[in-house]
Chain A
Amino acid sequence: MKKSIWQNGIKIGLIGGIVAILLALIGMVEAFNQRDIISNVVSMGHTLLFLVVLFLGYLAAKRTGRIRPFLGFFNSLTSGLIMGSFVALLVLGGSVIRLRAVFINASPALYQLLTFNQGVERGILILLLGGAVMGGIAGLFYIIPTLLRRVLIVSVGSVLGVGVLQDLLRPTFALWGPLAVINEWLFATNGLTLHGAISLFILMASGTLFWAKRGKSIQASWQGLSLKKQQAMRITSIIFLLILLLLLPQILGLFLSEVLTIVGLYVLLGLGLNIVVGYAGLLDLGYVAFFAIGAYAMALFTSPELGFLNFTFWGALPFAIILGVISGVLLGIPVLKMRGDYLAIATLGFGEIIRILVLSDFLRPWLGGAQGVGKIPKPLVGTVELATPQEIYYLILAGCFLVAFISWRLRESRLGRAWMALREDEDVAQAMGINLVATKLLAFATGAAFSALSGAIFATKLGSVYPHSFNVMISINILCLIIVGGMGSIPGVIVGSIALVGLPELLREFADYRLLVYGAALVAMMLLRPEGLWPEAVRRRELHEAEDLE
């Protein structure tokens, strides 16, 4: 019996220790360490390790502590100690053997960081103690009342959030004269100031406490309003949101507008793939092909460098979209009879074929080969040229609205319901009289059209196209964002794009680890929350059917 009491703590501690060592050896800790959360107090790299210990310690406590909370506390203490000792082992091993011959990131800087600049002996002591303390904190965290826990999560979370997103917030505040004072108070040159962090913590904590006390009555008074008033308020908030969206590039400045345009392009792509994968359930891994076709069509029709045709952006746009639709149908026909895995691999093959063709010397006179095509003109609206990211933003925003509107209307339509029937069960759908060929081809064509639109805007935004912009990573990126956001859900696509495309652009340190985190996110999502962050109602019900029945 004795073994089973400590089992959870030891097991989770071992897993956590391996995770921590892996995080250190792949260089994530060191890369994140360039930035401080709170200036000169705690860095992002350390925070990463702390969070691992806290989260897993909490898990250990939760696993065991349901009946006897204090046992949970000791379990999380054990797990913390084990994780600390794993990191200590890494430091010890690194001081004896030259790990760097194999692991490129096992640098002296990493050891300094892990031992808090205290040398090996004292560092190991600190790590063991620190691990136990962190595990203990996680255990305490499990014991304290729920309200206090929520207050702590929200306020610590927001301090972390503000610290991580400082590059986003600082320039934004700086643009607004009076608000610049906040900058002075909150931010040092690298990270939050100590007093800034504390005041933010207090602010958020009191906010959460207030909401916990008064939230119910506010909600009640909202429900007490007449339906007409509720609707009026809803419309006002939507209008407010619209105005905000229109003003966004002016508020955010040049760099962040650039990020916004990238997010917007991915929203377009995501909405397109959402129709193919989310609505119709056809897993397409070669989606980037249509993006490439849209971009290259734009280049082919407009660029004087190729010199075939010299259309304007607006003249070429319909052709780009039509070409997208045609290629969607053409690539759709061969795969009509395939399902699931086979479809995924065949479409992956298509995506690669398109990229290889574009890259080859054989098509170079028409598509520019590896050098790509340049001098794609910017779009003109009246006499105004949309050149800067802040101006292109409006083009993309308009595209997003159009595409979101179309997919929203399509979902409720006869065709949309046919797609969803197809997703649920192909044979039954056919038995119900759905024309499989037409329905599948329409899904491919619609998805391809959206993607080609995105590609065309992408080409004019960059002013040039290169085959290397269209590798399979883009397809995987898009797939990730619709899965993380929630398959089949339009707000999910937007949430997914912001989380998976916008955030990494803001966190420079993150760039190298982007696909690693995506991969981990996909696996974790499928294991823990297969319906995504903002799921479609039907899908959530479907995936949790078994749990609801229990």
Chain B
Amino acid sequence: MVQRWRERITLTDLLMWVIGGSILALIIWGSTATLSSGRYTSHHWFDFLIFGLAQGSIYALIAMGYTMVYGILRMINFAHSEVFMSGPYTAYFVAAFFYSTGFLDRHPLISLAVIFIVSMAISTLIAVLLERIAYRPLRNAPRLVPLITAIGASFFLQYTFRGLYGSGFQAYPVVKSLEGQWDMGDFRILKFQAVVIIAAALLMGALYLFVQRTRVGKAIRAVSEDKEVSWLMGINIDRMIVTTFVIGGMAAGAAGVLYALMFKQVHFFMGFIPGIKAFTAAVLGGIGNIPGAMLGGIFLGLVESIGPSLFLDGLGIVAPYQLKDAIAFILLVLVLIFRPTGLLGERLAVKKA
């Protein structure tokens, strides 16, 4: 018995378990130290929780695009972060116009609707163009080729938008009716955070129903299951792939506006970090799996907002909030090592797709 175990466990496995175990130990130690020091009250934790939920639902929306494209094409759409950036950046000009004419304050609902529609339209346009120009000709190329193309397209788009709209930060106009907070007994929720959470939840629900319940959604799932067979069944594969990009683009465009409402600025580089985070979320949930992406996004948002204070503060680390991105990436690497299938999903990291 012992003999067999010794044969099966290699040195690298052992080393990885040591790394994982020590990180886990650090997390537990840090958390207990933080909690016992009592530096944060329950109000703090509640604020972190809500912020994490809002942040996480934005990640979840972007992650849908990653996960669906991966499901259908087996490639990481690295330029999805630019799909996410292009929409709100373009819609900024609409928002600024509404703001300067006072329309935004008089009819906040109509203006927000227009901003959402513009942002989603532009993001969808970019996603579809991307598919048509950069990815379609390479559908049967070796694996690295489309990935490199996607990286190239990502930088091309970033700097095209920089050239078009300028390189500075643009401050998104503030919607007055979304300022302030709601009090719920002892706790408070900032209005815009609540709006972000609700809007994202509605959108995700709608997209999920679309994919699960409609004919087109069923066809998309069929194509991601097996391209050839679904082609034989009379499904137009090209159209389904484009539809996937459209859905991903719409989700990313909406997520972009929510992101802009939350952080109140847009920038040509704003897509990069949320893009990687959303990919992390997709992997966390199990790539190719839509509910997984939603769950992963929210989980990542929570870890990011609660993690620095909970794990790191107790370890006596100065300014732990600076390290929140590092926490997200470490989480990504840990998931890839110990559970490449993600929380809910099939094993794809090792599978040769």
A residues near B, CB below 8 A? 22, 25-28, 101-105, 281, 283, 285, 333-342, 344-346, 348-350, 352-353, 356-357, 359-362, 364, 427, 437, 472, 476, 479-480, 483, 512-513, 515-516, 518-523, 525-527, 530, 543
Q: Are A476 and B151 in contact (CB under 8 A)?
A: yes
Determine if B279 and A345 form an interchain contact, defined as CB atoms under 8 angstroms apart: yes
Cβ–Cβ < 8 Å partners of A105 in chain B = 163-164
User: Which B residues are in CB contact (< 8 Å) with A337?
Assistant: 337, 340, 349-350
From residue B128, how far is it (CB to closest CB) to chain A in Å? Answer: 15
Q: Which of B15, B19, B155 contacts A518 (CB 8 A)?
A: B155
Chain A residue nearest in CB terms to B96: A101
Residues of B contacting A342 in the complex (Cβ-Cβ under 8 angstroms):
283, 336, 340, 349
Report the nearest A residue to B146, measured CB to CB: A526
Complex contacts, B166 vs chain A, CB 8 Å: 104
Asked if residues B144 and A283 are in contact (CB atoms below 8 Å), the reply is: yes
Interface centre among A359, A362, A427 (most CB of B within 10 A): A362
* Interface residue B178 (Cβ < 8 Å from any Cβ of A): no
Q: How many angstroms between the C-alpha atoms of A427 and B350 in the bound complex?
A: 11
Interface of B is mostly: helix
**For chain A, what secondary structure do more than half of its interface residues adopt (helix, strand, loop), or is it mixed?**
helix
Within the assembled complex, what's the spacing in Å between the Cα atoms of A103 and B90?
A: 10
Q: How far is the CB of A11 from chain B (nearest CB, A)?
A: 14
B330 touches A523 (CB 8 A): no
Partner of A360, one of B145, B160, B322, B330: B322
Q: Which residues of A contact B323 (CB under 8 A)?
A: 356-357, 360, 362
A22 CA / B133 CA spacing, docked (Å) = 16
Is B318 in contact with A361, judged by CB distance below 8 angstroms?
yes
Which of B148, B279, B280, B333 is close to A334, meaning CB atoms less than 8 Å apart? B333
Sample of 18 A–B contacts (CB below 8 Å): A25-B164, A26-B163, A102-B164, A105-B164, A333-B15, A334-B19, A334-B333, A337-B340, A339-B350, A346-B332, A346-B336, A348-B276, A350-B333, A353-B330, A356-B329, A360-B322, A362-B322, A483-B148
B93 — nearest CB in chain A belongs to which residue?
A102
For the A-B complex with A103-B164, A356-B325 known, give 15 more contacts whose Cβ atoms are closer than 8 Å. A103-B165, A283-B147, A334-B333, A338-B349, A340-B144, A342-B349, A346-B332, A346-B333, A352-B276, A353-B329, A353-B330, A356-B323, A361-B319, A516-B159, A530-B145
- Distance (whole angstroms) from the CB of A185 to the closest CB of chain B: 37
> For the complex, what is the distance from the CA of A518 to the CA of B149, rounded to whole Å?
11
A337-B349, A349-B276 in contact; A526/B148 too (CB < 8 A)? Answer: yes
Is residue B76 contacting chain A, with contact meaning CB distance below 8 A?
yes
| A526 and B145 within 8 A (CB) | yes
Our pick among A25, A333, A339, A476 for the contact of B163 (Cβ within 8 Å) is: A25
Please, which residues of chain A bring their CB within 8 A of the CB of B12?
Answer: 333, 336, 437
A225 smallest CB distance to B (angstroms): 42
Which residues of B have CB within 8 Å of A516?
A: 155-156, 159-160, 162-163
- Closest chain-A Cβ to B165's Cβ sits at a distance in Å of 6
Please tell me if B157 contacts chain A, counting CB pairs below 8 Å: yes
**Quick check: A345 and B276 within 8 Å, CB to CB?**
yes
Chain A CB within 8 A of B250 CB: no
A-B pairs with CB below 8 Å: how many?
A: 173
Nearest A-chain residue to B348, judged by Cβ: A342
Say how far B321's CB is from chain A's closest CB, in angstroms. 10
A61 CB to closest chain B CB, in angstroms?
A: 22
Of the candidates A427, A472, A519, the one having the most CB atoms from chain B within 10 angstroms of its own CB is A519
* B interface, CB within 8 angstroms of A: 10, 12, 15-16, 19, 75-76, 93, 133-134, 137-138, 141-149, 151-160, 162-166, 272, 276, 279-280, 283, 317-320, 322-323, 325-326, 329-330, 332-333, 336-337, 340, 349-350, 352
On whether the beta carbons of A345 and B149 are closer than 8 Å, the reply is no
Output the residue of B93, B142, B152, B162 with the most chain A CB within 10 A: B152
Residues in A neighbouring B160, C-beta threshold 8 A: 22, 26, 516
Known A26-B164, A333-B12, A479-B148; contact A515-B159, beta-carbon cutoff 8 A = yes
Q: Which of A104, A281, A349 contacts B333 (CB 8 A)?
A: A349
Instruction: Kindly list chain A residues whose C-beta atoms are within 8 Å of the C-beta of B340.
Output: 337-338, 342
A38 to chain B, nearest CB (A): 27
A479 contacts B144, CB within 8 Å?
Answer: no
| Complex A-B, nearest 3 residue pairs according to Cβ-Cβ distance, in ascending order | A522-B152, A26-B163, A519-B156
Which residue in chain A gives the minimum CB-CB distance to B350? A337
Tell me, in angstroms, the Cα distance from A341 to B351 when the chains sit together: 12
When the two chains form their complex, are residues A519 and B165 in contact, meaning their CB atoms are under 8 A apart?
no
The smallest beta-carbon distance between B324 and chain A, in angstroms, is 9
Q: A451 vs B136: C-alpha distance in the bound complex, in angstroms? A: 35
How close is B135's CB to chain A, nearest CB, in angstroms?
10
Give, as a whole number of angstroms, the nearest-CB distance from A412 to chain B. 24
CB-based nearest B residue for A487: B144
The CA-CA distance from A283 to B166 in the complex, in Å, is 32
Query: Do the beta carbons of B93 and A344 come within 8 Å of each other?
Result: no
Q: Which residue of B lies closest to A27 (CB)?
A: B163
B329 touches A350 (CB 8 A): yes
Contacts of B280 in A (CB 8 A): 345, 349
Q: How far is the CA of A543 from the CA of B142 in the complex (A)?
A: 9
8 Å CB contact of B322 from A359, A472, A522, A526: A359
Contact assessment for B158 and A515 in the assembled complex, using a CB-CB cutoff below 8 Å: yes
CB-CB under 8 A for A519 and B319, given A283-B144, A339-B352, A526-B145 = no
- Contact A344:B76 (CB < 8 A) given known A361-B318, A522-B148, A526-B148: yes
Which residues in A have their C-beta under 8 angstroms from that of B326? 352-353, 356-357, 360
Residues of B close to A334: CB separation below 8 A: 16, 19, 333, 336-337
How far is the CB of A536 from the nearest CB of chain B, in Å?
15
B200 CB, min distance to chain A CBs, angstroms: 23
The answer on a CB contact under 8 Å between A356 and B148 is no
B329: chain A residues within 8 A (beta carbon)? 349-350, 352-353, 356
CB distance A523 to B153 under 8 Å?
yes
B154: chain A residues at CB < 8 Å are: 519
Q: Are A519 and B349 in contact (CB under 8 A)?
A: no
